[in-house]
Chains A and B, each alone.
Chain A
Amino acid sequence: MADPILSLRGIRRSFGPVEVLHGIDLDLAPGKVHALLGENGAGKSTAMKILAGYQPASAGRILLDGAETQFHSPHDGESAGIIMIHQEFALAEQLTVEQNIFLGRELRKGLLLDKARMRQLSREYLARVNSQVDPDTLVSRLSNSEKQMVEIAKALSRNARVLIMDEPTAVLTSREVEILFAQVDALRAAGTAILFTSHKLDEVARLADRVTIMRDGAVVHSGPADQITEDGMATAMVGREMSDLYPAKPGIPPGAPVVLKVRDLSVARYAQGIGFDLHQGEILGLAGLVGAGRTEAMEGLCGIRPKTGGIVEIKGTPVTIRKPADALAHRLCYLTEDRKLRGLLLDMPMRPNLTLQALADFAGLLIDRKAEDKALDQAIQDFDIRGSRTVRVGNLSGGNQQKLLLAKIMLSEPQILVVDEPTRGIDIGTKQQIYAFLRRLAAEGHAIIVISSEMQELIGLADRILVMRAGRQMGILSGAALSEDSIVRLALGVSDAKSAAETAPEVPA
Chain B
Amino acid sequence: MSDTTAPPRRGFTLPPMTVIGPVLALVLLIVLGASLNSNFLSAANVTNVLARSAFIGIIAVGMTFVITAGGLDLSVGSMAAFVAGLMILVMNAALPTLGIGLPLVLLGMGVALLAGLCAGLLNGLLITKLGIEAFIVTLGSMGIYRSLVTWLADGGTLSLNFELRRFIRPIYFDGLFGVTWPIIVFALVVIIGEIVMSRTSFGRHAAAVGSNEHVSHYSGISVARVRLVTYVMLGLLVGIATILYVPRLGSASSSTGVLWELEAIAAVIIGGTVLKGGFGRVWGTVIGVLILSLIDNILNLTSLVSPYLNGAIQGVIIVLAVILQRGRKASS
Contact = CB atoms under 8 A, between A and B. Distances in A.
Nearest to A362: B201
Given A360-B201, A392-B332, A343 B218 contact: yes
Nearest to A412: B220
A366 B214 contact: no
B212 A346 contact: yes
Interface in B220-236: 220-222
A468 B246 CA distance: 66
Q: Which of B195, B199, B205 is most buried by chain A, counting CB atoms within 10 A of its CB?
A: B199
B215 A363 contact: no
Contacts of B204: 352, 356, 359, 367
Contacts of A328: 220
A352 B199 CA distance: 11
Given A325-B220, A389-B6, A365 B200 contact: yes
Interface stretch (A78-86, A142-150, A262-270, A334-342): A334-342
A363 B205 CA distance: 12
B198 to A, nearest CB: 9
B306 interface: no
A190 interface: no
Interface string B207-218: 110011011111
A367 B201 contact: yes
A336 B214 CA distance: 10
A304 B201 CA distance: 21
Given A345-B211, A352-B208, A366-B199, A395 B219 contact: no
Contact of B3 (A323, A357, A388): A388
Interface residues of A, number: 36
B219 A324 contact: yes
A391 B217 contact: no
Contacts of A365: 200
Nearest to A366: B199
A59 interface: no
A191 interface: no
B326 to A, nearest CB: 14
A390 interface: yes
Contacts of B219: 324, 356-357, 408
B182 interface: no
Contact of A391 (B3, B207, B212, B278): B3
A343 B279 CA distance: 18
Contacts of B212: 341-342, 345-346
Interface string B1-24: 101111000000000000000000
Q: Is the interface of A mostly helix, strand, loop or mixed?
A: loop
Q: Which of B1, B3, B219 is most buried by chain A, counting CB atoms within 10 A of its CB?
A: B219
Contacts of B216: 356
A347 interface: yes
A386 interface: yes
A347 B279 contact: yes
Contacts of A392: 332
Contact of A304 (B200, B217, B332): B217
A395 B4 contact: no
Contacts of B279: 347
Contacts of B211: 345-348
B134 to A, nearest CB: 20
A223 interface: no
Nearest to A392: B332
Contacts of B278: 345, 347-348
Contact of A357 (B4, B6, B195, B220): B220
A257 interface: no
Nearest to A386: B4
A343 B212 CA distance: 9
Contact of A323 (B195, B199, B222): B222
A370 to B, nearest CB: 12
B2 to A, nearest CB: 10
Nearest to B219: A357
A352 B215 CA distance: 12
Contact of A345 (B4, B215, B220): B215
A395 B200 contact: no
A324 B6 contact: no
Nearest to A391: B1
Nearest to A396: B1
B221 A356 contact: yes
A344 B278 CA distance: 13
Q: Which of B205, B220, B278 is most buried by chain A, counting CB atoms within 10 A of its CB?
A: B220
A488 B218 CA distance: 31
B4 A387 contact: yes
Contacts of A390: 6
A366 B217 CA distance: 22
A327 B220 CA distance: 9
Contacts of A323: 220, 222
Contacts of B3: 388, 391
Contacts of B214: 341-342
Contacts of B195: 366
A27 B310 CA distance: 69
Q: Which of A346, A356, A359, A408 is most buried by chain B, counting CB atoms within 10 A of its CB?
A: A356
B215 A341 contact: yes
Interface in A379-421: 386-392, 395, 408, 412
A352 B279 CA distance: 12
B5 A388 contact: yes
Contacts of A369: 199
Given A325-B220, A342-B215, A388 B4 contact: yes
B218 A342 contact: yes
A64 to B, nearest CB: 37
Contacts of A342: 212, 214-215, 217-218
A304 B143 CA distance: 37
A408 B207 CA distance: 17
A366 B222 contact: no
B222 A325 contact: yes
15 contacts: A304-B217, A304-B218, A323-B222, A324-B217, A345-B211, A356-B208, A356-B216, A357-B220, A359-B204, A365-B200, A367-B204, A386-B4, A387-B5, A388-B6, A391-B1
Given A324-B220, A347-B279, A389-B6, 5 more contacts: A342-B212, A345-B211, A357-B219, A359-B204, A367-B201
The 9 closest A-B pairs by CB, nearest first: A388-B6, A395-B1, A324-B220, A357-B219, A366-B199, A363-B201, A345-B211, A342-B214, A325-B220
